[in-house]
Amino acid sequence: MSDTRMELVDDLLAGDYRALARAITTIENRQDGYRDLVATLHEHTGNAEVIGITGSPGSGKSTLVDKLALAYRERGERVGIVAVDPSSPYTGGAVLGDRIRMASSVGDMDVFVRSMSARGSLGGLSMATADAVTAFDAFGMDRVIIETVGAGQNEIDVVRAADTVAVLVPPGSGDTVQTLKAGILEIADVFVVNKADLDGADRTVTELREMVGLGNDVTPILDHSGKQGRGAGDVAAGDTTPDNGAADTTTADATPNDEAGWTPPIVETVATRGDGVDELIAEFEAHASYLDGTGRRAERERTRSAEELRRLLRSDLNGLVEAEIERRGGIDALVDEIVDGRQDPYSLADSLLAPVEDCLTERTDE
């Protein structure tokens, strides 16, 4: 790594916010030396708790993230936020307007907000998100919050990047069970019914309770057991009485029961007023205790590392293929061969990958 990059690492580790900003810019733009930069920072990570916030557009993700950051700051914790915005399929640009709804932390240096374009990623996260989390972690942030694009069913990447995932479900979102079958609700460690002061909130909570009660019908993405356990309190914010009428003595500090597994709790919030935020944080802490107490955190870290390796390999392989395409005259020249009937897409794809396959075969035969 160059002396300039090494100086950048030293400044970041020393707590220089300008160095943090430059490092994330280097990472996001994939500038020369970014891989060495991330590799060096990686050995200084492992202390930050990473929280993913996802949900449909308009569910109030940015406002809730803002209030979460404010609550964590009141506890003396430093917060890094990666807000991923959808990018245009035509220009690749993005509005990056999340900061407009994160006004509470303006001027607070210990809340660092970085907006990123998804740049066409279907998984709801920018390709650089995981690397930005690495930078935040190495910098010494206590909490890193990832807010996803919220574009629909493809918010799966967040479950591989975060320790705890909260899925926001706005009131009046229709048949929640049907929404589950359609996509993203399967990834939740915590369900959040935001805008709970609106009509339809009670019905949404009821539908979610019924859905959680389906147990094994809810297919987990990572490590939800599907067994009938509880979170720190699968009751609405402010409600301390479970369904059976007995007092709920479960707290966020209780030792999780691995035999029961983790059942996603449901929390009602009104993010614009900060209502329910403390209860939501308690559920995050309960899930963190569950991960630590059951060994599931190590499993998630292994899964995260495996997915990161696959992501890098896909990216690098794509770069090799793009270079081969350019060597053959560019994508338009290859398309002309298909349109003119000289080649079919499958044969052409095989020929583009053949040099890579030959190299791998040669190494296997050694």
Q: What is the mean pLDDT of the chain?
A: 79
Domain limits for position 351: 308-365
Quick one: pLDDT at residue 237?
Answer: 41
Say yes or no to pLDDT of 236 above 80.
no
State whether 287 and 168 are in the same domain: yes
State whether 290 and 317 are in the same domain: no
State whether 234 and 344 are in the same domain: no
Residue 3 binned pLDDT confidence (cut-offs 50, 70, 90):
confident
Say yes or no to pLDDT of 195 above 50.
yes
Say yes or no to pLDDT of 312 above 90.
no
Tell me the percentage of the chain whose pLDDT exceeds 90: 46
Report how many domains make up the chain. 2
Residue 128 binned pLDDT confidence (cut-offs 50, 70, 90):
confident
State whether 314 and 254 are in the same domain: no
Quick one: pLDDT at residue 329?
Answer: 94
Say yes or no to pLDDT of 220 above 70.
no
Residue 286 binned pLDDT confidence (cut-offs 50, 70, 90):
very high
State whether 334 and 270 are in the same domain: no
Quick one: pLDDT at residue 157?
Answer: 67
Residue 183 binned pLDDT confidence (cut-offs 50, 70, 90):
low
DSSP β-ladder status, 79-85 and 111-117: parallel
Quick one: pLDDT at residue 104?
Answer: 60
Q: In the listed set 260, 294, 328, which residue is the last one of a domain according to the structure? A: 294
pLDDT 10s digits, 53-87: 988 878 899 999 999 999 999 999 999 999 887 65
- The reply to whether 168 falls in a domain is yes
- The reply to whether 322 falls in a domain is yes
State whether 89 and 60 are in the same domain: yes
Say yes or no to pLDDT of 193 above 80.
yes
Say yes or no to pLDDT of 225 above 50.
no
State whether 158 and 269 are in the same domain: yes
CATH number at residue 174: 3.40.50.300
Residue 92 binned pLDDT confidence (cut-offs 50, 70, 90):
very low
Q: What is the mean pLDDT of residues 116-126?
A: 54
CB-CB contact of 38 with 149 (8 Å): no
Say yes or no to pLDDT of 106 above 80.
no
Please tell me the least confidently modeled range out of 12-16, 245-249, 345-349, 354-358: 245-249
